[in-house]
Structure 1
Amino acid sequence: GVLTWDDVLTHKSAWDTITWFAALVMMATFLNKLGLIAWFSSALQASIEQMGLSWIPASMFLLLSYMYAHYIFASTTAHITAMFSAFYIAGIAVGAPPMYFALMMAAASSIMMTLTHYATGTSPIIYGSGYTTLGEWWKAGFAMSVINMLIFIVLGGIWWKILGYW
């Protein structure tokens, strides 16, 4: 008895968000079902093999490409659903240690949420508060992504090496 159905129906922006979110996740799922992700993963792997990179620079290239591709996604869930497996498979195929690369991909999946004012569900709300300008957000988001990735790659890499993950 806390809410009536009429109360729920009056929140049109919430329904709009749910509808768009469902559509984005559905599109990401169908990219996988239609074979685009497998094709993309193979193309990534072939491109890296042509460059002749060892697993370390190849995995860093994949990691940064995965993270900064978020500039073209308006949903973290859709991005991860659509691209994580392709980049992970390509990373393993070029020789990256599976657990280490999975941890790096998970870190990138979290860090990319601060890149833009539309990067994740809470970003538009925070940006809409008027605390920062669009330019400041993008500059700070990029700077923090670089700093955070360096911390994860260097300190995390050392720690994960000690733990035996690579």
Structure 2
Amino acid sequence: MDWQHLRIETDRLILRPPQAEDFEAYAANMADAESARFIGGQQLRAVAWRGFLTLAGAWMIQGYSMFSVIEKASGQWIGRLGPWQPDGWPGSEVGWALTRSAAGKGYAHEGAAAAMDWAFDHLGWADVIHSIHPDNHASQVLAKRLGSSLRGPGKLPAPYEQTPIEIWGQTREQWRQRQRA
């Protein structure tokens, strides 16, 4: 698969691998304490740079990672979402992290649904999880809306092993059944 030219379009979004021009918006999002609260916390620009390169590098090594989310109407980078499975991760995750300006518009649902389709269809995943902090009620609502259910507490690898998370998820069969309903 030619991931460098991968582009998934939904009604309002473009999902594509990160590009250099996405970094400024990415760094601004990670500098925003509220936006970064449940994704590792607020970060200095140099730390955000390393995280951004981790996402880009995962595409090179694993052939997948979170997509940059581009709002079609404005052409602006509004977050990241998609498949994510670093070493030691509790499962094959489809996660999301959008900017505050994108919150409440249904973008996370629209993009996550497209990313789940892609993970099941192109990566062959049989199961998808979402690791969600117990206080992240907005992500819990989104997970439910996607059809995922709470499986119980989980544990992230170092350096996040002290961060409490709950594992939400569903199988490919459950996802497909919801699509047919």
Q: Provide the TM-score with structure 1 as the length reference.
A: 0.28
Higher RCO (CA 8 Å, separation ≥ 6 residues): 1
Larger radius of gyration: 1
Q: Provide the TM-score with structure 2 as the length reference.
A: 0.26
Which structure is higher in strand share? Answer: 2
Which structure is higher in helix share? Answer: 1
